[in-house]
Amino acid sequence: MAVLIGPLCFCQFVYLSIFTTTLYSLAETSLINSPQKLTMNSQNFQHILSWEAGNNTTVPTYYHVQYIALSSKKEWKDAEECSNTTRLFCNLTKEYDDYENSYIALLKSFTEHGVFNLSSPDFSPYRATYLGPPIVNLTACPGCINVTVKLPAVYLKEKSLIDIYKKLDYSTTVESSDRKEKIPFRNETSEECFSYVIRSLRLNTNYCVSVAVTASLNSHSIPSALKCIITKSTTRKGDGTIPILSGGLVSFVLGVLLIGLYKGGFICLKSGPWPKVLETTNTLHCSVHVPDPEIVCSVQIIHKEIIKKEWEYCDDDDDDSGSDSENSDEYTKRGILGRIVNSHAKSNTFVQQSIDCASAESSSQAIKLLDSDAENSEEDQSVIKENESTSKVLFHPSSEVNHSSTSDLRNSACFNINLSTVMLRDPEKTWDESTTLVTHQEDEVDLQDYCAFEEFESKPFTNIDYSKRPDCHNSSHEWQKPSVSDESDTSDSEYIRR
């Protein structure tokens, strides 16, 4: 029985010892504040190794950090600031200077109970560090947002993200606050600071923008914080001032220009009444030309056999005398001794014509016509009418004939007087006793152009009694040679001279 008890006891002893040892070791491990959760936080090549303390915080623990570069031939190195430290983190930025290498960090925990090691996994700064967040600035524009991105600084000596990675990809996320629409926008850059415009956005809407930066072999990134901005609308109040100012300026310039033109005489305003001469133009514009009332003169042709007179009168002189102005409506316009252009006139008949002229405007017009051809009375009638028609133009009362140049031979009346047929007669005597001025008589009348002058010198006419106001309302008007007194000789001679 003792033999059986013996082996049983031995086995139990063994089991018990094993069990106790295990418990003790477990207890020991719990007593030793073994660090847990060794993590590497790396951002922009700033590497911070952190860990958590063990369960029992009352036990003092000192930590020691070592590191090794895998691709180099070197051995473990101690981290400078992390020797015999009680802190729960270690900054390994300076230690991990070869960013293309891979590193292993070893954490040694020193307690009174012993040393505990904990190692980190392979860490390559080039591939594992978190890039960003970039610095983002937003400016609003109509229906778009202008984004300016600046890459963060790197905790490496004289290096930047572009120096390390050469090219970086950036992705933009645009969110609208109400609909939560996300618009990703990707591109690549090789500059530290760059800007771009996000278009096709709604007007007057609040959008929030976030930018993240990545590399081709490093996809770890920290996006920037959401920045919100409201897009502008197309109609801006501030812009209204510019068109108003420009419109005012243009109108001011136009006004100055117009005033300058007016002062310079290029633009004239109607300052006074229209002159009478131009008055008819208004009526003429709209209406059919209404000619001046015709001076209708009824002519009585008194045929006398003896004398055929041909008047030749062409007066070019101007009538500048002021006295004529009184007769402006009368014989200053006279001028006419309308000579009938009649090439057929051959007879020496004297035609005394009585002219009865009727004019609505003035009766001051006298027309004396000669018709040397009694046979062509009909023609004469027509010719007279022609003369009348021409004469009426000449005797327009409103025309300022006084000062008009007679060189303007628009309407000129010339009379060719056959001197041989000129007869002189004493007013008291009859025609039979008259004598010819010139001995010879001409059979033919050399009739020149029919021209009528607007102005005549008053002198000869006064002698011929033309100064008398011809009263067209008179029944007859006798042209009397005898009425021409002695002065008529001179007048005739004057005529002849001319």
Partner 1 sequence: MINRSLLPFSLMLLLSSETSCLDCNRIHVLQSKMNSKSLEHLEKMGGPFPFQCLNERSAFKATDILKVRLAQQENAKAAIQQILQELFQIFSKNLTHAAWDGTSIKEFQNGIHQQIEKLEVCLSAEVEKETTYPGNESLLHTSLKLRRYFQTVRHFLKEKQYSRCAWEIIRLEVSRCFLVLNILTKRI
208 belongs to the binding site for partner 1 (CB under 8 A): no
Name which of 36 and 177 has its Cβ closer to partner 1: 36
Interaction with partner 1 in 105-164: which residues (CB under 8 A)?
119, 121-122, 124, 126-127
Strands 227-230 and 206-214: antiparallel
Tell me which residue of 297, 316, 319, 338 sits closest to 447, measured CA to CA. Answer: 338
Interaction with partner 1 in 163-182: which residues (CB under 8 A)?
166-167
326 belongs to the binding site for partner 1 (CB under 8 A): no
- The least distance separating partner 1 from the CB of residue 200, rounded to whole angstroms, comes to 25
216 belongs to the binding site for partner 1 (CB under 8 A): yes
Name which of 119 and 398 has its Cβ closer to partner 1: 119
Name which of 99 and 431 has its Cβ closer to partner 1: 99
The residue assigned the tokens 């070791």 is 25
Rounded CA separation 169/280 (Å): 89
89 belongs to the binding site for partner 1 (CB under 8 A): no
- The least distance separating partner 1 from the CB of residue 211, rounded to whole angstroms, comes to 21
Name which of 167 and 403 has its Cβ closer to partner 1: 167
Name which of 68 and 183 has its Cβ closer to partner 1: 68
- The least distance separating partner 1 from the CB of residue 117, rounded to whole angstroms, comes to 10
- The least distance separating partner 1 from the CB of residue 43, rounded to whole angstroms, comes to 21
- The least distance separating partner 1 from the CB of residue 118, rounded to whole angstroms, comes to 12
Tell me which residue of 439, 406, 404 sits closest to 423, measured CA to CA. Answer: 439
Q: Kindly write out the interface string for residues 69-88 of this chain, putting x where it contacts partner 1 by CB under 8 A and - elsewhere.
A: -xxxx---------------
Of 3, 217, 268, 269, the residue at the interface with partner 1 (CB under 8 A) is: 217
Residue 192 to residues 76, 154, 162, 166, 225, Cα–Cα distance (Å): 36, 11, 7, 10, 19
100 belongs to the binding site for partner 1 (CB under 8 A): yes
219 belongs to the binding site for partner 1 (CB under 8 A): yes
Name which of 123 and 311 has its Cβ closer to partner 1: 123
Q: Kindly write out the interface string for residues 19-58 of this chain, putting x where it contacts partner 1 by CB under 8 A and - elsewhere.
A: ----------------------------------------
Residue 487: phi and psi, rounded to 5, are -65, -25
187 belongs to the binding site for partner 1 (CB under 8 A): no
Express the helix, strand and coil content of the chain in percent, nearest 5 each: 25, 25, 50
Other residues' Cβ atoms within 10 Å of the Cβ of residue 300: 13
Tell me which residue of 314, 300, 327 sits closest to 470, measured CA to CA. Answer: 327
Name which of 126 and 196 has its Cβ closer to partner 1: 126
Coil vs helix vs strand at 284: helix
Q: Where are the beta strands (DSSP E) in 142-234?
A: 144-150, 168-176, 182-189, 193-198, 206-214, 227-230
Name which of 107 and 370 has its Cβ closer to partner 1: 107
- The least distance separating partner 1 from the CB of residue 166, rounded to whole angstroms, comes to 6
Tokens of 183: 């618009």
Contacts with 411 (C-beta within 8 Å, 6 or more apart), sequence order:
390, 393, 394, 451, 452, 453, 454
Please state whether the peptide bond connecting residue 133 to the residue before it is cis, i.e. omega within 30 degrees of 0.
Answer: yes
Of 102, 129, 221, 387, the residue at the interface with partner 1 (CB under 8 A) is: 102
CA torsion 445-448-449-453 (nearest 10°) is -90
Name which of 129 and 210 has its Cβ closer to partner 1: 129
The separation between the first and the last C-alpha atoms of the chain, rounded to the nearest angstrom, is 198
Of 104, 153, 306, 438, the residue at the interface with partner 1 (CB under 8 A) is: 104
Tell me which residue of 381, 454, 450, 378 sits closest to 413, measured CA to CA. Answer: 450
Calculate ∠ Cα 27-28-34, nearest 5°.
110
- DSSP codes, 83-123: EEE-SSEEE-TTT---TTS-EEEEEEEEETTEEEEEEPPPB
- The least distance separating partner 1 from the CB of residue 76, rounded to whole angstroms, comes to 9
424 belongs to the binding site for partner 1 (CB under 8 A): no
Strand partners, 368: 337
Name which of 120 and 352 has its Cβ closer to partner 1: 120
- The least distance separating partner 1 from the CB of residue 39, rounded to whole angstroms, comes to 14
- The least distance separating partner 1 from the CB of residue 38, rounded to whole angstroms, comes to 12
Stretch that binds partner 1, among 97-105, 248-256, 342-350, 456-464 (CB under 8 A): 97-105
Please count the residues of this chain forming the interface with partner 1, following the rule CB under 8 A: 19
Give Cα 258 to chain centroid, integer Å: 18
- The least distance separating partner 1 from the CB of residue 35, rounded to whole angstroms, comes to 17
- The least distance separating partner 1 from the CB of residue 224, rounded to whole angstroms, comes to 23
Rounded CA separation 265/270 (Å): 12
Cβ(226)–Cβ(177) below 8 Å: no
Strands 296-304 and 77-85: unpaired
- The least distance separating partner 1 from the CB of residue 100, rounded to whole angstroms, comes to 6
Stretch that binds partner 1, among 99-107, 249-257, 301-309, 485-493 (CB under 8 A): 99-107
Residues lying near partner 1 in the complex (CB under 8 A)? 68, 70-73, 100, 102, 104, 119, 121-122, 124, 126-127, 166-167, 216-217, 219
